[in-house]
């Protein structure tokens, strides 16, 4: 049924936005991490959203073949953030370099909080679309009662 694939589209949106909030939480948790296993300070990660066909289920594949222009969304985590790291002078810090500077992660707290809010709002929009599809399905069950 058409409306069930609409639910799958909304679900892909929910999934992508949830991934985005996970990435932001990870950035916030690591805002002071000056050393990682790969060496160097923690580098900010980003969830990049791109359109993608939904679901591996038969109905999803069929709906996708019938109108390929309708896409769900997927999130991938990327680390290609090239902004500069802040350097703080702290010679007693174990991760300080020869001149006594510690490199901090390139995370801006305010920016992350705004991105978090935006992701939550998008998540809510997808929940509304999902509930709307659900109420339509339930209503159409009443036909012929």
Partner 1 sequence: MDGRLIFSKLFDRTIAVLEQSLDIRTPRHRVLSSNIANSETPNYEAKDIPFQKILEGSMNQYSLLNLKRTHTKHFPEGVITDMMVETVPGGVNIDQEMAKLAENNLRFQAEVQALLKKIEALKFTISETR
Q: Residue 133 CB: number of other CB atoms within 10 A?
A: 19
Please measure the distance between the N-terminal and C-terminal CA atoms of the chain and give it in whole angstroms.
Answer: 20
DSSP 83: P
Does position 12 bind partner 1 by CB under 8 A?
yes
- Can residue 143 be called a binding residue for partner 1 (CB under 8 A)? yes
Applying CB under 8 A, which part among 26-34, 36-44, 96-104, 118-126 lies near partner 1? 118-126
Helix (H) or strand (E) holding 48: strand 46-52
* H-run or E-run covering 102: strand 101-103
Judged by CB under 8 A, the residue of 72, 104, 107, 112 near partner 1 is 72
| Nearest approach, Cβ of residue 116 and partner 1 (Å) | 13
Q: Which stretch binds partner 1 (CB under 8 A): 24-32, 35-43, 62-70, 97-105?
A: 62-70
Cβ 70 to partner 1 shortest distance, Å: 5
CA distance 50 to 57: 20
Given a contact cutoff of 8 angstroms between Cβ atoms, the answer to whether 105 and 30 are in contact is yes
State the residues that interact with partner 1 by CB under 8 A.
1-3, 5-7, 9-10, 12-13, 16-17, 20, 49-51, 63, 66-67, 69-73, 118-119, 122, 125-126, 128-130, 132-133, 135-136, 139-140, 142-145
């Amino acid at each position: 049924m058409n409306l069930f694939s609409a639910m799958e589209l909304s679900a892909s949106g929910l999934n992508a936005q949830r991934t985005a909030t996970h990435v932001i939480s990870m950035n916030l948790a690591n805002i002071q991490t000056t050393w990682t296993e790969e060496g160097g300070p923690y580098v900010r990660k980003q969830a990049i959203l791109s359109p993608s066909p939904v679901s591996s289920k038969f109905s999803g594949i069929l709906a996708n073949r019938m109108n390929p222009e309708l896409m769900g969304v997927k999130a991938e985590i990327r680390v290609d953030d090239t902004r500069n790291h802040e350097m703080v002078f702290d010679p007693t810090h174990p991760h300080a370099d020869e001149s006594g500077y510690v490199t901090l992660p390139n995370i801006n707290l305010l920016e992350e909080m705004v991105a978090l809010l935006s992701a939550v709002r998008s998540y809510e929009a997808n929940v509304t679309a999902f509930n709307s599809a659900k109420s339509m399905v339930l209503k159409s069950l009443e036909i012929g009662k």
